[in-house]
Structure 1
Amino acid sequence: MSGPHSLERVVIVGAGFAGFHAARTLARLARGAVEIVLVNPNDYFLYFPLLPEVTAGILEPRRVTVPLATGCPGVRFVLGTVYGVDRVCRRVAYLDARGDHQSLGYDRLVITVGSVNKLLPIPGVAERAYGFRSMAEALYLRDHLIREVEIANTADDPERRAACRTFVVVGAGYTGTEVAAHGQLLTKDAAERCPGLGDRQVRWLLVDHAPRLLPELDPRLSHAAHKVLAKRGVEIRLRTTVEEASYEGVRLSDGEFVPSRTLIWCVGVRPDPVIEDLGLTTIRGRLVVDAYLNVPGHPEIYACGDAAAVPDLTRPGEITGMTAQHAQRQGKRVAHNIAASYGHGTRKPYKHRNLGFVVDLAGWRAAANIRGVALSGVPAKVLAGGYHLMAIPGNRLRIAADWTLETVLPRQVVRLGLVPPASVRLAATADAPAPAGAVRRTS
């Protein structure tokens, strides 16, 4: 594969599912004929679907990360945060690891900046809630859950004790359901090691305005998940929302005030705010692209994953969902289309077949919908584990070893204290503002 001049540069912004697989696939196709540069704030690809198991202490944090240096051979990695694009000069502006302003030229640009926590205008939520989108948030949440149980164990005031052992998760989609499932078992194990709690068990609430759990799945799987969590004691509040959050607790839309020191926000995601500042056409915060993942009017610019409003050719008039499954496939497709732009192969539109979904309910329970076949319980758990082992681009033996040890050894309930709370408040993770004085774009 060759371009109009030697070693044209393809810059890929973001190393989530879309960016990682775009870089990895393009490097394999290019074989050194173009320079591929991957710009990302972290030096690893995060396999997000297994993050709840990191919070639960089942998987060691490095198990769900794949180093970019080894995961994308043939790709030059730049540690930085992109905050602007000069489309005239074809350069991206970014902050490097030291916080200095830098820029980088490109011949082809792939925007895969992903998404951030969705913040709703509910009083107190931005200041009191914790999101669940990053390794830092997962590690902090693990420490926080254990700490609250330990505080409840020694608290003399009954009201304080009750608040500390009460945990509220908002959002009963994939993430919220898995966080509640794993978190409830973690705090249950922690409580069993605290004799001061006596028979006062931890309390978990899963809140959502939807009429059922996991509304994206087959109703049979929603019912199976509901049954598993309810049997464990999780209080499932459907058709309910949070109206206000404070240090003392949360007020629900049904009028109940729930004393709690823990509000976990899993209501969904929105595209990275930098997208709105690029001066390109957007739909609901996502860059408009055609079926070939090109930005209209800019044949040198591509976008995919959560950052892009990709037409869903299986549902005319709709755009693809913000899921890891779509992002990974779109990343591979955009790599092939870029290769085609250099004369290697033929570009093709992005069209997908839904493989289905799996939801881990912790322990030996899961729910799955694979190509219309609904599974639950142990069979779904085995299928979910097998799927993740095939999908993650590394660490398979280490993950399998951790899972095996989890079945024969007691859970390690210990706090590490690595992440400060201020860095993971929802207010700190829902936006990524540009540095003061930065020029976001040039038309």
Structure 2
Amino acid sequence: MDNVTRPRILVVGAGFAGVGCVRRLERKLASAEAEITLVTPFAYQLYLPLLPQVASGVLTPQSIAVSLRRSRKYRTRIIPGGAIGVDLDSKVCVIRTINGEVVNERYDYIVLAPGSVTRTFDIPGLTDHAYGMKTLAEAAYIRDHVITQLDLADASHDDAERASRLQFVVVGGGYAGTETAACLQLLTHNAVKRYPRIDPKLIKWHLIDIAPKLMPELGDKLGSSAQEVLRKRGIDISLGVSIAKAGPEEVTFTDGRVVPTRTLIWTAGVVASPLIATLGAETVRGRLVVTANMDLPGHDGVFALGDAAAVPDEAKASKGQDGAVCPPTAQHAMRQGKVVADNVVATLRGQAMRPYVHKDLGLVVDLGGTDAVSKPLGIPLRGLPAQAVARGYHWSALRTGVAKARVLTNWTLNAVAGDDFVRTGFQSRRAAKLKDFEYTDSYLTPEQVRAHVEGTGPEAE
């Protein structure tokens, strides 16, 4: 077959789900069987669970950004940009490339794995004053920002300014928020020893969540263990509490407390990518409704998975938990990518598809240093054994040998030599808040997508 007659497979998103799908397709399909294209603004796969360790300086950013162009054997064409709309009827994906050009990419099969974005609420000042922890740039920026607060507090002669720079607020008691607070608190605890003019007692970390429990998936005992570890470090944990409003120098909690701070980190959950809303298809809590085969009912050749899809959890359904969907975790996304690839290949070859079934292997929470809590296969672990399981799981999940070597080297070097507390000045004079990283206002409405595909919309001019 030549390039014109080969079926076109378009994969949107280079997260765990998208990259897992692409690599499986490359292995299972001969080059003459299909043309594979991947849409992503960055030519790397980000290992998201280790972002807090980048923010705290334990790992370098390059360690968890696994290049998609490193191997010469991969044949997938990469379009550097983001999908901003999909017309299911015309089988066209509208893409805004990194230089701002808007193009139409036609496909025969599409795999939607655009992931998720930070979930925000209509809280006054939130998007203007809070920092996120969803991208590599945000993690690198937050590290610089936290060290900058120590530098400025050390140089300040104003007690009120010093107090606001030395208090830090993290919203979100899930895995991301808990690990972020734990890792960054350890960073400031170690760094303040190099600032003789700062009283370590002035440094205060607050971890708050509207839920009644911290990481409820861990269960009462492990959840309590995690809280005990954090509280012993001096982290103030407030449950049943959220943010009422945020300002440049203070944050007001819903219980009425006003905390002077220049650092508000928002990790209160995620929602499916706004791309899903452009399809005009059925959703549940923002996630696209798909079958257990991860295909979209009523639309041939359309598949969706990962954080953006409500994939039925067949493992729980077999136990009588009807209606359960797979949680938006890396564990499920990696495995769904392989099954979707198999189902795309099966569709191409006229074979039967298979449903996605995976029993959850457990949970790992790295609290920095030698602290961790883990629940592999339902077995509760704490301390060093839990740390070994957590880091072992993350290390084994990294896709390439180079990434594994870098992460292992970083862990070893940090354990032996500690941190250098280097402030790079990354974007120090530019805004870098929630609204500045995820570009959630870039997506089209279903009507705009249709108009653009037909050549009548403003983006087509």
Matched, 1:412 2:420: yes
Q: What per-residue deviation string (whole Å, max 9, x for no partner) do you get for residues 364-421 of structure 1?
A: 1111011110001000101111111110102111111111111110311011122357
Q: Is the 8 A contact 2:13 2:40 kept in 1?
A: yes
Q: Is the 8 A contact 1:273 1:431 kept in 2?
A: no
- C-alpha distance in structure 2 between counterparts of 1:215 and 1:440, whole Å: 40
Is 397-406 or 340-349 further displaced after alignment? 340-349
Is 264-273 or 195-204 further displaced after alignment? 195-204
The amino acid that maps onto 1:99 is G
Q: What per-residue deviation string (whole Å, max 9, x for no partner) do you get for residues 175-203 of structure 1?
A: 00000010001112221111111344411
Determine the structure 1 residue equivalent to 2:64. 64
The amino acid that maps onto 2:369 is G
Structure 1's 192 and 344: CA in aligned 2 closer, same or farther, altered over 3 A? Answer: farther
Deviation at 1:431, TM superposition (A): 4.8
Q: Is the 8 A contact 2:278 2:443 kept in 1?
A: no
- C-alpha distance in structure 2 between counterparts of 1:55 and 1:62, whole Å: 12
Deviation at 1:435, TM superposition (A): 6.8
Counterparts of residues 10-409 of structure 1 (less than 5 Å): 10-32=9-31, 33-70=33-70, 73-313=74-314, 314=316, 315-343=321-349, 346-394=352-400, 395-409=403-417
Q: What per-residue deviation string (whole Å, max 9, x for no partner) do you get for residues 12-47 of structure 1?
A: 011111111011111111132211111101111000
Identity percentage over the alignment? 41
Structure 1's 293 and 265: CA in aligned 2 closer, same or farther, altered over 3 A? Answer: same
**Secondary structure, counterpart of 2:448 in structure 1:** coil
Is 197-206 or 328-337 further displaced after alignment? 197-206
Q: Is the 8 A contact 1:205 1:235 kept in 2?
A: yes
Structure 1's 74 and 176: CA in aligned 2 closer, same or farther, altered over 3 A? Answer: same
Q: Is the 8 A contact 2:275 2:443 kept in 1?
A: no
- C-alpha distance in structure 1 between counterparts of 2:432 and 2:218, whole Å: 30
- C-alpha distance in structure 2 between counterparts of 1:37 and 1:78, whole Å: 7
Q: Is the 8 A contact 1:272 1:431 kept in 2?
A: no
Deviation at 1:339, TM superposition (A): 0.8
Determine the structure 2 residue equivalent to 1:434. 442
Query: For structure 1, which runs of at least 5 residues remain unmatched after alignment?
Result: none
**Secondary structure, counterpart of 1:427 in structure 2:** helix
**Secondary structure, counterpart of 1:255 in structure 2:** coil
Deviation at 1:101, TM superposition (A): 1.6
- C-alpha distance in structure 2 between counterparts of 1:197 and 1:77, whole Å: 49
Deviation at 1:423, TM superposition (A): 5.1
**Secondary structure, counterpart of 1:109 in structure 2:** strand
- C-alpha distance in structure 1 between counterparts of 2:159 and 2:379, whole Å: 48
Deviation at 1:6, TM superposition (A): 4.3
- C-alpha distance in structure 2 between counterparts of 1:200 and 1:229, whole Å: 16
* Count of aligned residue pairs for this structure pair: 441
The amino acid that maps onto 2:195 is C
- C-alpha distance in structure 2 between counterparts of 1:207 and 1:199, whole Å: 22
- C-alpha distance in structure 1 between counterparts of 2:242 and 2:58, whole Å: 30
- C-alpha distance in structure 2 between counterparts of 1:238 and 1:95, whole Å: 41
- C-alpha distance in structure 2 between counterparts of 1:329 and 1:214, whole Å: 23
The amino acid that maps onto 1:287 is L
Q: What per-residue deviation string (whole Å, max 9, x for no partner) do you get for residues 335-390 of structure 1?
A: 01011112276411111101001000000111101111000100010111111111
- C-alpha distance in structure 2 between counterparts of 1:182 and 1:390, whole Å: 21
Q: Is the 8 A contact 1:152 1:165 kept in 2?
A: yes
Q: Is the 8 A contact 2:361 2:377 kept in 1?
A: yes
**Secondary structure, counterpart of 1:21 in structure 2:** helix
Query: For structure 2, which runs of at least 5 residues remain unmatched after alignment?
Result: 455-461
Q: Is the 8 A contact 1:130 1:424 kept in 2?
A: yes
Q: Is the 8 A contact 1:46 1:65 kept in 2?
A: yes
Is 7-16 or 336-345 further displaced after alignment? 336-345
TM-score by structure 1 length? 0.95
The amino acid that maps onto 1:85 is V
Deviation at 1:90, TM superposition (A): 1.7
Q: Is the 8 A contact 2:144 2:425 kept in 1?
A: yes
The amino acid that maps onto 1:21 is G
- C-alpha distance in structure 1 between counterparts of 2:442 and 2:416, whole Å: 48
**Secondary structure, counterpart of 1:294 in structure 2:** coil
The amino acid that maps onto 2:410 is D
